[in-house]
Structure 1
Amino acid sequence: MPTPTLPNAALPDNHTRRSRRKEARPGELLAAALDLFVEKGFAATRVEEVAQRAGVSKGTLFLYFPSKVELFKAVVRENISGRFAVWNDEFERFEGSTHDMLRYCLFNWWERLGSTRTSGILKLIMSEAQNFPELASFYQHEVMQPGKTLIERILRRGVARGEFRPMDFTYGVYLVLAPMLFLALWKHSLGPCCSDHAQLDPHQYLAAQLDMLMHGFSQPKTLTNLSLEPPLP
């Protein structure tokens, strides 16, 4: 006798799991790619490895991402550049002083990105940019330029409100970026290899950097009672 066909409601559980998994595959592929890009770098990561870690075939990966370059771009958009709309909205809605805004910027960058595996993308870009100029150009356009623009908006806000003294905004932006870049590189290079006594406490490091920035940027009258502690969640 022929095997009866089960109605959809009676399909086995493993069919349901496969259906759900098919829908989840792009996210699983991006998560696997992020892990491998951070662990091994761009050149050393093979698409076969990404597919295997995500539990799909290489052909399935190429259904979603036509090349390793496009896969990398999707990882950056998913984890970094796709968040700028939210960050710019936070800038528009922020009601505190510019000192508080800059403090919020540094500490929340660490909590949201710097302390996560995503910050390893920066090390990848800095180490492999010359070999992959397309990736370097993409990262500059999608991450660095919007990030610099946002920080410049913070500094200009402070000057316009009389909280910060006049400054060269181009280099003021780099002064804010410097401790963020250092922490990200430290986390994914020397940091894991150092003995306990040589380790950095990220929050203390950022507080020290913020103290230097505030004394460099601020008008003398605004230096009293500045808070350098991490903002409350």
Structure 2
Amino acid sequence: MNNPLARALRGAGINTVDVAARLGVDPKTVQRWMSGRMPYPRHRDALVRLTGWSQHDLWPDLPRPTQPEASGDEVRIVYPHRSTVPTDAWSRLFADAKAEIDILAYSALFLAEDITVSTLLRDKAVDGVRVRIALGMPDGVHVNDRGGEERIGDGMSARIRTALIGFHPIAEAGGELRLHDTVLYNSIYRADDELLINTHIYGRPASHAPVLHLRRWAADGMAATYLDSFERVWDSADKISR
């Protein structure tokens, strides 16, 4: 099954019987959900908690709010680790950008190797969206330290060099590439007011760490703090000639 709910449950390692037992429903009901039937709201909430996916990732046809919630909460969803973020969430994030796309990471190789995302970023740059990508300096001190922490040695530097090749067409299309030598506590992926923040955990690859999906509501909120961090690293990073 290619239904988002089926993919989410498979990714979380939860089978139909497990879901039925936890939610107190018949396994046939779960099978119908996985085939496309919409669950009741209380069951949707429970499935969000079980999978770590947002309601709109699980059921894309749900209506989306046009105004911020009264609470002004900037946290849309927390994914337990990056591999649970729906594959198409990255392309949908960048596809909605009208003015700015920012990427701050050590390598972001998973995006550079994603032909859908890399082509989208290139097309956005051609269309006049400001695309800025800051990757770790392959021979930098902190990249070397990160490689040691993850026990991959020079593997981190190799990932960055490979990612630079993948991102090169974006630079040719008008995007900006820079290299930084800073300690990253998070990787930042931004499209206008939407951000995916991949936290970093000592000794673990970023793909194993949680991801926060934020929407900026306020000039001094959580999202603004991450955006300020991006600007500080960007200003200190070295430009790469096209």
TM-score normalised by the chain length of structure 2: 0.30
Q: Give the structure with the larger strand fraction.
A: 2
From the CA coordinates, give the structure whose radius of gyration is larger. Answer: 1
TM-score normalised by the chain length of structure 1: 0.31
